[in-house]
Amino acid sequence: MTTTQTGARTAGRIGDNAQRPDGTLKVTGEFAYASDLWHDDMVWGVTLRSPHPHARIRRIDVAEALAVPGVSAVLTADDVPGENAYGLEHADQPVLAADVVRYEGEPVALVAADHPETARRAAARIRVDYEVLPALTDPRRALDDDAPEVHPGGNLVRHLRVRRGDPAPTAPVVVSLDFEVGMQDQAFLGPESGLAVPAEDGGVDLYVATQWLHVDQRQVCLALGMPPGKVRLTLAGVGGAFGGREDLSVHVHACLLALRTGRPVKMSYGREESFHGHVHRHPATMTYEFGAERDGTLVYARADVLLDGGAYASSTAAVVGNAGLLGLGPYRIPSVAVDAYGVFTHNPPCGAMRGFGCVQAAFAHEALMDELAAAVGVSPVEIRQRNGMREGDRTTTGQVIDSAAPVAELLERVAAMPLPPPLETSDLRNLPGAVGNTTHGEGVRRGVGYAVTYKNVGFSEGFDDYSTARVRLQVVAGEAVATVHTAAAEVGQGLVTVQQQIARTELGVERVVVVPADTTVGSAGSTSASRQTYVTGGAVKAACEAVRTAVLQRAAVALGGPVAGLALDGDKVVGAGGEVLAGLADLLGDDAVEETVEWRHRPTHAVDPETGQGDAHVQFAFSAHRAVVDVDVELGLVKVVALDTAQDVGRALNPDAVVGQIQGGSAQGMGLALMEEVVVADGHVRNPSFTDYLLPTILDMPPMRVEVLEYADPHAPYGVRGVGEPPTISSGPAVAAAVRVACGRPLRRVPIRPEHVTGT
Amino acid sequence: MRVTTTVNGTERTADDVWPGESLLYLLRERLGLPGAKNACEQGECGSCTVYLDGEPVCACLVAAGQAIGREVTTVEGLADGQSLHPVQEAFVEAGAVQCGFCTPGLVVAAHDLLARVPEPSDPEIREALAGNLCRCTGYEKILDAVRLAARRQATR
């Protein structure tokens, strides 16, 4: 047999900056987002929502709405065929409110019509007779004996206790503070949308933007009273998520209308409805205390964290878990006492958002760390390095950190980055207020602030956190093609690219097709908790390995030799020296080799209910930020001049995409520090629009230096470590710290407003 | 009402248009051009940016009837057949696309900027794109993309 050496390895493997397979469609406008879907004969669905935070529904009269020409259906709670209940962890949320509404914006009725405006006008003609009830809108009152009950059984969603070390510790230096974090919105740009198509078998096909198809399917089935085989979900193009698509939005509503009308139904929220139509980041009220030696070494920490869960449970219990288990930051602390509470109120429901409970806590522990630094006379960097976790340390729950924990190095790296040049006042665009011409430099002070964080990767506390991948290898028109099928939601982060890179790496082929995510393959788990590259990446890797093994076994039989030493490269089977032994086309012919693998990371465990001790997490991810700000201390205007970061990602499968995640995550953290808040007054959202809810623009964002460390986690596929969330956690506290330095005020609430900076 | 307008060089007509419809709705729901996006529908996010008689506008703020007899160019009309416009190419190559919902609007805005200012400074890029929100990228790679597109255009 003649042998030839194969050429250079396939481009676009792991570690390469492979380009997105959907990039071209996205720049030409052809990529089909959920709100772009269209079907012959389709009608439009709209939602009627409660104007009250708490009210009893006495009566609903739909007659006038039904009489509007063009209207094909009007539905209320009576029309929900299955259980009128859904929820991520507890099914406590009605599909349509039956007797009581518990927050402003709760869905009450649905209308389908041939034009969205017709549907909206008809919805306005539904007469709902409400008896307005007293609303519980202050979470600090939720656990009082005389507080109105949001649900029977009381207003406590979860209380997590963490106790470790000395129960009555003392220390020579004690610092404490109270801190408040406002409600942040995910503000993904693609509004909640979906298309439900009634099927001939009496079931329904739903095309929808989401983060986890299978958990949606379970809830839709419950509400429709249908088995999973009749409710098929396919991922439609997702315009960002950030946690806000973990809970259902249009899903059941569109299916109900489609099944009633017998026609495809499209639903797509406008921005105002989107603010009411998804959960937000929990507002937090926190009290923290650190005790330390005179050199700043921590002796103990106490924290009391109260999270406003709003009207329904959503993922509040898990957010409380993170705030309680991780909420003292990446520090070595011998004695800890943490109490984290999530409560029901009649405010908008809160749930998942990037950083998930760690974001709120980080503002408090990082502000307090700066207090401690000042109290003992060391720098913010030094105090954090002195107390920072290292590999082998135990967390506040007693879990040993069994891979890299480079807190000190991350700080060293951000501190060593060049500082931006001093303020140049000749160009107004450099100044806080910019071309608003509010200052020419007088009253402008510069501040520098630091923060660090750690975040759990993947689902914790004993959750069975797995993903499923189906991989097929076949030869099409003489070329080897790998097909990867998972139910994992690509929401913009680049998972489709990484799946291709993994398949190219494991199978040696160039052409990899990632087929649309749907429920005809097993669950991939949620696109959240920075977990998909790790868990679905792990599943794709394992499925590719199974395919490769099957192909090489076939090759060994055909070649009459051992499997050992055989490998796949290009469209060939090669030997140990890279010599070509067989072509895949000859070996496989028309056969396809297909394997499906369900893959799990190492198990995690529930924590002790009394002490919160236990190995709750599978992996931790660390990041540090340094922010530089110019603050007009007379007007309270802030310009962020630099926002630099270092993060350990274990191994960067796609370095450019990793940097993109870090930069985007940093921007969201900065937004919470300075401008982003869903303002809720007496249970009413006051700013449900992009006019009044401020998001960072390209003028607000500074240049961002990013240093990526790659300390491989030996327990994770390829050594990867979750990337998406840490930057959102450490960036905001660094910005807040920098503003504190510039203006000299304590600033115990975010987002920081001009009047906080000026003290007026 | 009947609306006849020229979109990407082709005359298009839609019937039974409700007078309250926006140009964005006309393009997306009646003319099969969903490239311009519906993120805020009040002129804050720029994701629906299209050219109207050569001027970039938020299609959500233009009534469909205002487009009668005028020329509209959408993101779908920027590429030359199968070959991407340099701005589009640069967005893909620079990693400026994540979820991509802001991308069509940003591509049109950057296309307009580079037509007016072939070699923009960073502050000029920031000013020009200040009306386009992006929630995924933090804008760094969008700046990279515009710089790259400017270099590419200069050498062509």
Asked whether the predicted pLDDT for residue B44 surpasses 70, the reply is yes
CB A74 within 8 A of CB A111: yes
B10-23 confidence digits (pLDDT tens): 999 999 999 999 99
Locate the DSSP E strands across A673-757: 680-681, 684-685, 706-709, 749-750
Q: Which of residues 100-139 of B touch A (CB under 8 A)?
A: 100-104, 107, 123, 125-127, 129-139
Question: Does the beta-carbon distance from B143 to A698 stay under 8 Å?
Answer: yes
Q: What is the pLDDT of residue A7?
A: 42
- In chain B, residues with a C-beta closer than 8 Å to the C-beta of A187 are 135
Instruction: Give the start-to-end residue ranges of the domains of chain B.
Output: 3-77, 86-154
CB atoms within 10 A of CB B6: 15
- Name the packing angle between helices A655-674 and A726-743 (round to 10°): 40
CA A414 – CA A593 distance, rounded (Å): 48
Distances (CA, A) of B32 to A30, A36, A380, B28: 10, 9, 56, 5
Q: What is the pLDDT of residue A5?
A: 42
Question: Does the beta-carbon distance from A27 to B143 stay under 8 Å?
Answer: no
Question: Does the beta-carbon distance from B74 to A29 stay under 8 Å?
Answer: yes
Give me the average pLDDT of each 10-residue run along chain A (760 residues): 45 95 97 97 98 98 98 98 96 97 98 98 98 98 96 97 98 98 98 98 98 98 98 98 98 98 98 98 98 98 98 98 98 98 98 98 98 98 98 98 98 98 94 94 97 98 97 96 98 98 97 97 98 98 98 96 93 93 95 98 97 98 98 98 98 98 98 98 98 98 98 98 98 98 98 96
- In chain B, residues with a C-beta closer than 8 Å to the C-beta of A699 are 126-127, 130
CB A219 within 8 A of CB A211: no
Report which residue type is found at A750. V
Q: Of B42, B103, B141, which has the smallest distance from its Cβ to A660's Cβ? A: B141
Q: Which residue of A has its CA nearest to B34?
A: A36
Interface test with A, best of B98, B126, B137, B144 (most A CBs within 10 A): B98
- The H-assigned helical ranges of A575-725 are 584-588, 655-674
- In chain B, residues with a C-beta closer than 8 Å to the C-beta of A656 are 95, 141
- In chain A, residues with a C-beta closer than 8 Å to the C-beta of B147 are none
Question: Does the beta-carbon distance from A33 to B45 stay under 8 Å?
Answer: no
- Does ipTM top 0.95? yes
Question: Does the beta-carbon distance from B135 to A17 stay under 8 Å?
Answer: no
CB A498 within 8 A of CB A720: no
Asked whether the predicted pLDDT for residue B156 surpasses 80, the reply is no
What DSSP letter does each residue of A27-84 carry, written as one string?
A: HHT-S-BGGG---TT-EEEEEEE-SSSSEEEEEEE-HHHHTSTTEEEEE-GGG--S-S
Q: Which residues contact A78 (CB under 8 A, 6 or more apart)?
A: none
CATH of domain B3-77: 3.10.20.30
Q: What is the pLDDT of residue A6?
A: 42
- Going by their DSSP bridges, the two strands B49-52 and B10-14 should be labelled as unpaired
Q: Which residue of A has its CA nearest to B74?
A: A29
Q: Which residues contact A537 (CB under 8 A, 6 or more apart)?
A: A495, A498, A499, A502, A653, A717, A718, A720
Question: Does the beta-carbon distance from A115 to B135 stay under 8 Å?
Answer: no
Q: What is the pLDDT of residue B81?
A: 85
Interface test with A, best of B78, B132, B139 (most A CBs within 10 A): B139
A228-264 confidence digits (pLDDT tens): 999 999 999 999 999 999 999 999 999 999 999 999 9
Q: Which residue of B has its CA nearest to A39?
A: B29
- Going by their DSSP bridges, the two strands A706-709 and A637-648 should be labelled as parallel
B105-142 confidence digits (pLDDT tens): 999 999 999 999 999 999 999 999 999 999 999 999 99
CATH of domain A23-31+466-600: 3.30.365.10
Query: Which two structure tokens, joined as six digits, stand for B23?
Result: 């140009």
Reduce the DSSP state of residue A265 to 3 states and report it.
strand
Query: Which two structure tokens, joined as six digits, stand for A332?
Result: 């070595």
B86-154 classified as CATH 1.10.150.120:
yes
Question: Does the beta-carbon distance from A31 to B47 stay under 8 Å?
Answer: no
